[in-house]
Amino acid sequence: MSAFNAIGEEREIDRDEFTPGIEPQPTWCPGCGDFGVLKALKQALPEVGKTPEEVLTVTGIGCSGKLNSYLDTYGFHTIHGRSLPVARAAKLANTDLEVIAAGGDGDGYGIGGNHFIHSARENHDMTYIVFNNEIFGLTKGQTSPTSPKGHKSKTQPSGSAKTPLRPLSLSLNAGASYIARTAAVNPNQAKEIIKEAIEHDGFAHIDFLTQCPTWNKDARQYVPYIDVQESDDYDFDVTDRREAAEMMHETEDVLNEGTVLTGRYYVDDDRPSYQQEKAAVGEMPDEPLAERYFDDDAEWERSYDLLERHT
């Protein structure tokens, strides 16, 4: 019998199961886009048949980092920028877990930028949601890596001299095999994209546009969005790397001018996940590593048997 019976449990799952029964109430500001991510996740998880106890949500620091305080799954609220290394190791240790990492644009693209690049490169089988509100919210409104050039804040009072980072293009170049952008103001699309990301075998990166009504009032995320899959103006093949790259450029060129394009930008279902690649070269156990500790019949190798080479 498995030591992890919550994993793969098949039953009707009510979305309310993902809401903590008692405290805490979200501390997000009224109108915060983070509510949109929470709602979309609560809808998506039961629809893909996941029980709260087989899901591990790993978050970083910032308003976004509190996601798993309000979403009742197994959770790990880590430290600034480090959600991804924690999340991907959890997946390696127990490949049966559904691992979802989340964080903000400062957390994920700034302090955690290096981890983002390498997690995408390795194509770990997990979902990564970046709450992108183009601002540091919890630390009270400093310029973030995605804030537009010229953005004024207490730490860049004359306006930022930096060109904003382009998360979609970065993600594609780094090697993510599923890349989408959605927005809190677009709940139906958000839910569908999260479902796809969870079901995707590989690193699924969602740049999730979330408005910050308190610190980023100028942000243009309230403007109507255009779903690139729904619009005839944007016909491209999401499985074609070059076409996807071109579309991402188009989007990222105009984002700060008030045009918001959302949808799937790149989907590569053929590329094996990191776990599969690692298994192919013989460096992943056949069964989830964590299971073995509960298996009374497991044979544990001894260092004594390695000593021959030292005698």
Partner 1 sequence: MSSDELIWRIAGGSGDGIDSTSQNFAKALMRSGLDVFTHRHYPSRIRGGHTYVEIRAADHEVQSRGDGYNFLLALGDSFARNPQEEAYYGNEEIKPLSENLDDLREGGIIVYDEGLIGEEDVADIDLEARAEENNWHVFPMDLRGLAREHGREVMRNTAGVGVTAALLEMDLDHIEDLMSDAMGGDVLESNLEILHEAYDTVAEEYDFDHDLRAPEGSHETEQALLSGSNAIAYGAIDAGCRFIAGYPMTPWTDVFTILSQNFPDMGGVSEQVEDEIAAAALAVGASHAGAKAMSGSSGGGFALMSEPLGLAEMTETPIVLVESMRAGPSTGMPTKPEQGDLEFVLYTSQGDSSRVVFAPGNIEEAYDQTRLAFKIAWDYQIPTIIIYDQKLSGENTNVDVEFFDREPEPDLGSTMTEEELREAAHDASGKFKRFNYDDAEKGVSPRSLPGQQGGRFLATGNEHSPVGHISEDPDNRVFQMDRRLEKLDHIREELTEEHASNQTTFGDETAEYGIITWGSSQGAVAEAVERLNGNGYAVKGLSVSDMMPFPEAEVTDFLESVDEAMVVEMNATAQFRGLIQKELGRFGDKMTSLLKYNGNPFEPAEIVEGYEVNLEGEDRQPSAQVRIEPAAGD
State the nearest-atom distance from the C-beta of 91 to partner 1, in Å.
Answer: 8
Neighbours of 281 (CB within 10 A): 7
Which CB atom, from 72 or from 268, has the smaller least distance to partner 1? 72
CA gap 264, 266 in Å, rounded:
6
Q: Are 94 and 4 in contact, with CB atoms under 8 Å apart? A: yes
State the nearest-atom distance from the C-beta of 227 to partner 1, in Å.
Answer: 34
Residue 230, C-beta contacts closer than 8 angstroms, at least 6 positions apart? 263
State the nearest-atom distance from the C-beta of 120 to partner 1, in Å.
Answer: 11
Which CB atom, from 35 or from 74, has the smaller least distance to partner 1? 74
CA gap 1, 81 in Å, rounded:
37
Q: Are 68 and 52 in contact, with CB atoms under 8 Å apart? A: no
CA gap 88, 97 in Å, rounded:
11
- Helix (H) or strand (E) holding 244, with range, is helix 241-254
State the nearest-atom distance from the C-beta of 278 to partner 1, in Å.
Answer: 8
State the nearest-atom distance from the C-beta of 274 to partner 1, in Å.
Answer: 10
Which CB atom, from 233 or from 296, has the smaller least distance to partner 1? 296
Which CB atom, from 78 or from 256, has the smaller least distance to partner 1? 78
CA gap 132, 62 in Å, rounded:
12
Which CB atom, from 114 or from 188, has the smaller least distance to partner 1? 114
Beta bridge partners of 131: 104, 208
Beta bridge partners of 127: 100, 204
State the nearest-atom distance from the C-beta of 32 to partner 1, in Å.
Answer: 17
Which CB atom, from 28 or from 265, has the smaller least distance to partner 1? 28
DSSP-derived secondary structure letter, 241: H
The binding site for partner 1 (CB under 8 A) comprises: 3-7, 9, 20-24, 52-54, 56, 58, 66, 68-69, 72-80, 82, 84-94, 96-97, 114-115, 117-118, 278, 282-287, 289-290, 292-294, 298, 300-304, 306-307, 310-311
